[in-house]
Amino acid sequence: MKEISELNFPDDLRYTEDHEWAKQEGKQIRIGISDYAQDQLGDIVFVELPQVGDTFAKGAEFGTIESVKAVSEVYMPLGGQIVAINEALEDAPELVNNEPYAKGWMIVVNPSDINEFDALLARDAYLEMLKG
Amino acid sequence: MKAMTGTRGLVLNEPFLWEQGARGRTCFSMPRRDVDPCPLKDELVGQGPDFPDLSEVDLVRHYTRLSTWNFGVDTGMYPLGSCTMKYNPKINEKMASLPGFAGAHPLLPAELCQGVLKLMYDLEKYLAEITGLPAVTLQPAAGAHGELTGMLIFHAFFKARNQQRSKILIPDTAHGTNPASAALCGFKSIPVASNDQGVLAPEEVAELMDEETAGIMITNPNTLGLFEDNIKKIAGIVHAKGGLVYADGANMNAIMGIVDMSKSGVDILHLNLHKTFATPHGGGGPGSGPVCVTKNLEKFLPVPRVIHQNGDYTLTYDCPESIGKLHAFYGNFGVQIKAYSYILSMGAELKKASQLAVLNANYIKEELKSVFHLPYDRACMHECVFTDKFQKPYKVTTLDIAKRLMDYGFHPPTIYFPLVVHGALMIEPTETESKTSIDLFIAALKAIAKEARESPELLHEAPRNPKMRRLDETIAARKPCLAG
């Protein structure tokens, strides 16, 4: 496992206390897990994602990530409808380890209330939380 | 310090079975045919499965060689937390292989298997005595099957009251099988956080318990190895809302004959004979997960039940409110014999087994807490949980520590569980180990803590001594190869 200073947290993303990231792309939000989360989980061997069209509230579980250590849930940073899922993760779950912010993305959401996005943690606030 | 047992010796390579043998070899000879040949139906004729052609000696050597790569409880200390890998006394095997037991056909009429039925009847009584819960079924095949039985009884209990409840409270220190068993029965599991002392607070339970909630599934001692000292209060809160208390007895080895489960408010409890009662465990062999209940839940237990009337033992199916049958015939009877033999051979000393198991764990906890971080520094029960926090500056993880223990000749402990402890290293020595072997184990872990500071690469590269070195668990999970 790495030191926090060795991890990467882009400043154009928002973060949650449960270690998901969210990125605004026009009217939609792309979601994945942070570099810290993937590092803590260790090698990821399976990612279970929802169906396109499913709707979840903020904080609801939208999927599970299985690593060699444990199975963890992933939660919606904000409420909305799933408009895309990263199907590549089915055959290549290691993308989440290798490129958590790029090819390791998980879902794209049509948010029901964009204010929920604005309420998420900015990079510095997330980093503060990690340093505890 | 005595010499560590871990070393290297001659170990033989062994290819897959499919890479061995030669066409025409066979392990057995068919008996002489004494009936007229009868052609198979067309739909049964075709290509057989792809099995290798092997002689008896090919097969025997294959498994014998593989067994020398292995490590079992007969090889050395196996401190796998929450699994209670205690030694299985060989007298139990001898009893289970008595011809009258081993050869008893499950369809024998009751009058021809009185001994078998009496053993089942008496074992139920002993388990009732040990747990304080008066009615017992021996049918479930293992712990999670016992949980399923318990959840079906929850359902039957509410159905009999024309109620339907949808939720179950499950502490965050629970075994993963608890929420799974609840979900299998259609209950939604509601997690309950443990407090800063590592146990459940009654207030937390009171806040979540309502009349939509069927009850709570609680492991006591919990998976942090701590006794849930609020159990009675928690049971009171659950009962006040009409709910039931299910106890996961996986950690019963800490409290045999010491805690009366019924007095602590438990309604249903499963036991793991393969953990607490010294029957073999793991390797995919049969387990046994008896379920013990209060008198008023007895009517829901699975059928058939063994009864004793007018000096005769019989099986009865006349239990209209029973949840039905859960296992072919009567459960894993061979395992029941071994547990029965264990209980009788221990006699009044059974309680002492628990006392020594707790003493051993506390001894290890005190001896190692200066070199490994102890998240809950208080008296523990039969197991103690450390973390890799002190080793973090050297980039040494719990996994590295566990792997390095193999080089010293010990089976690694449970790691990364319970989930509420980051980087958990969960050690359960059991009462089986002598002070000599525990001291050696402590010395090994102290040596490993020193290596972590001085030469962490030794840990990163561990294990070095076993035939198979660090296995690629990631590839095994991502691209499993299932050929033999």
pLDDT at position B105 is 96
Q: Do A68 and B419 touch (CB under 8 A)?
A: no
For the cut 90, the answer to whether the pLDDT of residue A4 exceeds it is no
- Choose among B395, B419, B474: nearest Cβ to A68: B474
Q: Could you tell me if A93 and A72 are in contact, meaning their C-beta atoms sit under 8 angstroms apart?
A: no
pLDDT at position B284 is 58
Residue B315: helix, strand or coil by DSSP? strand
For the cut 90, the answer to whether the pLDDT of residue A50 exceeds it is yes
Instruction: Give tens-digit pLDDT for A72-82.
Output: 999 999 999 99
Query: Please, what are the averages of pLDDT over each run of 10 residues along chain B (484 residues)?
Result: 84 92 90 92 88 94 93 94 94 96 95 97 98 98 96 97 97 92 95 95 97 97 96 98 97 96 97 96 81 98 97 97 96 96 96 98 98 97 97 95 97 93 96 97 98 97 94 87 74
Q: Could you tell me if B332 and B287 are in contact, meaning their C-beta atoms sit under 8 angstroms apart?
A: yes
**CA-CA distance, B296 to B305, in Å (whole number)?**
16
HSE-up of B393 (CA within 13 Å, CB side)?
Answer: 6
Name chain A contacts of B416, Cβ cutoff 8 Å: 69-70
Domain ranges (residues) in chain A = 19-131
pLDDT at position B28 is 87
Higher-confidence position of A131 and B394: B394
B389: closest CA among B378, B373, B405? B373
pLDDT at position B180 is 94
pTM: 0.89
**Average pLDDT score over chain A:** 95
Interface residues of B toward A, Cβ cutoff 8 Å, are 392, 395, 397, 416-417, 419, 473-474, 477-478
Domains of chain B, first to last: 92-348 (3.40.640.10), 351-478 (3.90.1150.10)
pLDDT at position B138 is 98
Residue of A nearest to B393 (CA): A3
Enter the DSSP assignment of B405.
H
ipTM of this model? 0.75
- Identify the CATH number of the domain defined by range A19-131: 2.40.50.100
Name chain B contacts of A70, Cβ cutoff 8 Å: 416-417, 419
Question: Which tokens is B144 given?
Answer: 């999670």
**CA-CA distance, B53 to B64, in Å (whole number)?**
18
pLDDT at position A121 is 96
pLDDT at position B377 is 96
Q: Do B397 and A1 touch (CB under 8 A)?
A: yes
Secondary structure of B36-65 in HEC code, one letter for each residue: CCCCCCHHHCCCCCCCCCCCHHHHHHHHHH
Residue A55: helix, strand or coil by DSSP? strand
pLDDT at position B484 is 62
Distances (CA, A) of B4 to B77, B80, B237, B366, B466: 12, 19, 51, 21, 14
